[in-house]
Amino acid sequence: MRKRLKRTKGICSCSSPRCINHSTFNWYEQDLWTYIARFLDGRSLVMLGATNKWFNSVIMQDCIWKFTCLRDLQVPDPGHVAFSWSKLYASVVDGSHSFIFRQQEKHIDLQPVRCPVCDQEKCEGTMQMLDARHIELFLNQGFQDGSWDYELVGSHEIKKKVRGAYGAIFDFKYLTSKSTAGIFDYKSWIGQPNDFQPKAIIALHAVAVNTNLQENQGVLIKYHTMRAGAEGEIVSIRISQQLL
């Protein structure tokens, strides 16, 4: 009697549903990269966005640049803004300064101001200036075309030797807050007496700057404000201190 051979099951193809062809970068979770972007600086974000179109679409989300802008500038959320956050960030870090559109010869944000009576290359400068401005100021047409300008609102002259040029701008509503308290502890940040380099401190609702001075006969302090039009709100405050 012949034995019936047992039929064995041959090798067959997988019966699972076929995998749909996705674009390579669709496999990355967008929320994950949005989170990772929070730990990158602006330059790194731009480099990542230039990798390919997918990363560019993720990195250019306004929420990412808003977080980066508020984090790097250490300012509170202003709420609604008229420009994209990527443009606002660029206007801060692209080298723009208060004199970029007019009075360029008075540019003092990145170099010393020369004495009015000399033009020596080794002159260390005689003026310190502190600007606090609205985050959208540099992008507004009124600022760019010169129709908004600074107005002198007060001045004060100290006709005796001063140890340092100190200037500060506060949001009065937060004058007694914990974040502002560090500015009043000036000994912790102004530098040693023999250190004549400018020092600054930034809080969420305040900013201050100080330069220790050598021998001098006093300083002239001027206060300027800029309005958004004749009756508009104040969009910038400037404090200048010049040696007499």
Of residues 50 and 96, the one with the higher pLDDT is 50
Domain region containing 41: 24-91
What is the Cα–Cα distance from 159 to 174, expressed in whole angstroms?
A: 32
The reported pLDDT for the residue numbered 195 is: 86
Mean pLDDT of 22-44: 70
- Helix or strand or coil: residue 151? strand
Q: Which two tokens stand for residue 191?
A: 């530098």
The DSSP call for residue 204 is T
Mean pLDDT of 196-225: 89
What is the Cα–Cα distance from 83 to 64, expressed in whole angstroms?
A: 14
The reported pLDDT for the residue numbered 33 is: 77
The reported pLDDT for the residue numbered 223 is: 94
In this predicted structure, which of 51-55, 99-103, 124-128, 174-178 has the lowest mean pLDDT? 99-103
The reported pLDDT for the residue numbered 98 is: 57
What pTM did the predictor assign? 0.70
Pairing of strands 199-203, 206-212: antiparallel
Q: Which two tokens stand for residue 161?
A: 């030797």
In sequence order, what are the beta bridge partners of 76? Answer: none
Handedness of CA 172, 179, 168, 87 (dihedral sign): negative
Mean pLDDT of 220-238: 91
Q: Is the pLDDT of residue 10 over 80?
A: no
Res. 229 pLDDT band, cuts 50 70 90: confident
- SS3 readout for 55-113: HHHHHCCHHHHHHHHHHHHCCCCCCCCCCCHHHHHHHHHCCCCCCCCCCHHHCCCCCCC
Domain membership flag for residue 17? no
Whether residue 119 is found in the same domain as residue 235: yes
The reported pLDDT for the residue numbered 111 is: 41
Q: How far is CA 11 from CA 17, 18, 217, in A?
A: 18, 18, 97
Q: What are phi and psi of 101, to 5 degrees?
A: -100, -20
Domain membership flag for residue 9? no
Residue where a domain terminates, one of 91, 120, 142: 91
Q: Which two tokens stand for residue 113?
A: 């101001």
Whether residue 239 is found in the same domain as residue 128: yes
Whether residue 165 is found in the same domain as residue 87: no
**pLDDT tens digits along 74-128:** 888 888 888 999 888 888 776 655 555 555 555 444 344 444 444 445 555 577 8
DSSP string, 130-146: EEEE-TTGGG-HHHHTT
Asked whether the beta carbons of 234 and 225 are under 8 A apart, the reply is yes
Residue where a domain terminates, one of 57, 91, 125: 91
Whether residue 172 is found in the same domain as residue 203: yes
Mean pLDDT of 182-205: 87
Whether residue 127 is found in the same domain as residue 149: yes
User: How many domains does the chain fold into?
Assistant: 2
